[in-house]
Amino acid sequence: MNAVLIYSGGLDSTVLLHHLHQAGNELAALSVNYGQRHSREIECARQQCARLGIEHRVADLRSLAPLLGANSLTDSAVDVPQGHYTEETMKATVVPNRNMIMLSVATGWAISRKSDCVAYAAHSGDHAIYPDCRREFAEALDAAIRLADWHEVHLYRPFVDWTKADIAKRGEELGVPFAETWSCYQGGEVHCGQCGTCIERREAFYLAEVDDPTPYAMEAPTVDQLVAQFWRLS
Amino acid sequence: MNAVLIYSGGLDSTVLLHHLHQAGNELAALSVNYGQRHSREIECARQQCARLGIEHRVADLRSLAPLLGANSLTDSAVDVPQGHYTEETMKATVVPNRNMIMLSVATGWAISRKSDCVAYAAHSGDHAIYPDCRREFAEALDAAIRLADWHEVHLYRPFVDWTKADIAKRGEELGVPFAETWSCYQGGEVHCGQCGTCIERREAFYLAEVDDPTPYAMEAPTVDQLVAQFWRLS
């Protein structure tokens, strides 16, 4: 199979890169610069691809930021919310129609290079606050992508029924260098450890029982601290 | 209705701009700069919007040109084919997945400004050489667009069953200043008169029995010339 992978440089898509590469597929990887604070992930993506000898391109969509409105991923005046993704405040991280825009650009490239599919690392834990992470959205878009050209391209989402912990486990099997992936939505030197993506990343390693080599600005609480907090809140 | 119009500055979308404006809709117009030779159409779009007091934005997607491959609309090394669109050579004007890319960006803007729909001027004469002009493509993409956000946006294609001649006729009723629209795929000072879009433009005015105020570098043949050509080819 010949695939264009939408490749953020985060945990999920890096595991997918190695997963598809190890299975012998021909790959090309596309990162999208939409003006995100965490452009450091693109540098991680570049390094992984160089290591595996995979062509890597960056679609520069920064010029679209004024059209897509203020959100905390692209606008430094809007704070990145902290805490777990289930909270209402995480809506501040929504970039309107981001997935369709990325997938349509990747599809254009896939058509141009006669690839069979556009692969991306959507998984079962992707959130209802991101409507364009829902399965029915991806299925409808897949139908449109298949009709977009005489050379048929389809969407490929091998992780769609996996949890993020399943992905971490698969990454460990593949020997993915987790420390060279980037998840944090803040633009700091190390992962902040407390934004929504950091919390999910930590949780995935914890649930998968996989060692997390990521340095975090905020350490995970110890069991003693959790017990103390429990009694304070009781 | 509040609509984001995909607005090239050509004949069809300029008539749609006036058609929607005259009906009292709230409009915002989006042109896309994908590195086309005929960027002059964007200047036409800007002028029309200024005249009608409609917000106009340009999405600058020139950075995508290397991903989308060589084609005659963006690459000056590839000649723009001449003659009617039915010819195989017109495939050189295909920008892979152009419509999905434009529509996904317009949808992002529509979501961000809480518009009801993305309007575009697809019509019944749009060609099978452009697979993403087919009705089934638009219907599939509409389904995906409706799912892309909690704020539902849909595709609106009021000209989908019209011919280009119907559009020219409607433009005449609305008093559209046709001379201030741009169709030609060449980047010249005046319309070349013989590329695929020029031929269709001329044909639409002819079939609609509407005066064509466009200056063309190549004049339309006279009846005498057509008769002479007929005998030469017989």
pLDDT tens-place string over residues B99-108: 999 999 999 9
Report pLDDT for A185.
79
- Distance, in angstroms, between B206 CA and closest chain A CA? 32
Which residues of chain B are within 8 Å of residue A154 when distances are taken between CB atoms? Answer: none
pLDDT band at B206 (very low <50, low <70, confident <90, very high): very high
Can you tell me which residue has the tokens 């002059």?
A: B40
Judge whether A75 is annotated as a binding position. no
The rounded Cα B89 to chain-centroid distance in angstroms is 19
pLDDT band at A75 (very low <50, low <70, confident <90, very high): low
3 state SS of A177: coil
Which residues of chain B are within 8 Å of residue A113 when distances are taken between CB atoms? Answer: 69
Distances (CA, A) of B38 to B17, B43, B44: 20, 10, 11
pTM above 0.95, yes or no: no
ipTM score over 0.85, yes or no: no
- Domain holding A45: CATH number? 3.40.50.620
- Distance, in angstroms, between A106 CA and closest chain B CA? 9
CB B152 within 8 A of CB B146: yes
Which residues of chain B are within 8 Å of residue A95 when distances are taken between CB atoms? Answer: 108
Q: Are the beta carbons of B136 and A145 separated by less than 8 Å?
A: no
Q: Please write the tens of the pLDDT for every residue from A10-52.
A: 999 999 999 999 999 999 999 998 877 667 889 999 999 999 9
Q: Residue B22 is part of which domain span? A: 2-233
Can you tell me which residue has the tokens 């002028």?
A: B47
pLDDT band at A163 (very low <50, low <70, confident <90, very high): very high
DSSP code per residue over A143-157: HHHHHSSSS--EEE-
Q: How many domains does chain A have?
A: 1
pLDDT value at A142 more than 70: yes
DSSP code per residue over chain B: -EEEEE--SSHHHHHHHHHHHHTT-EEEEEEEESS-TTTHHHHHHHHHHHHHT-EEEEEE-GGGHHHH---TTT-TTSPPPBS-TTSGGGGGG--TTHHHHHHHHHHHHHHHTT-SEEE----TT--TTSGGGSHHHHHHHHHHHHHSSSS--EEE-TTTT--HHHHHHHHHHHT--GGG----SS-SSSB-S-BHHHHHHHHHHHHHT------BSSPPPPHHHHHHHHHHH-
Report pLDDT for B135.
87
The tokens describing A26, both together, are 């021909």
Element (H, E) at A25: none
Report pLDDT for B180.
92
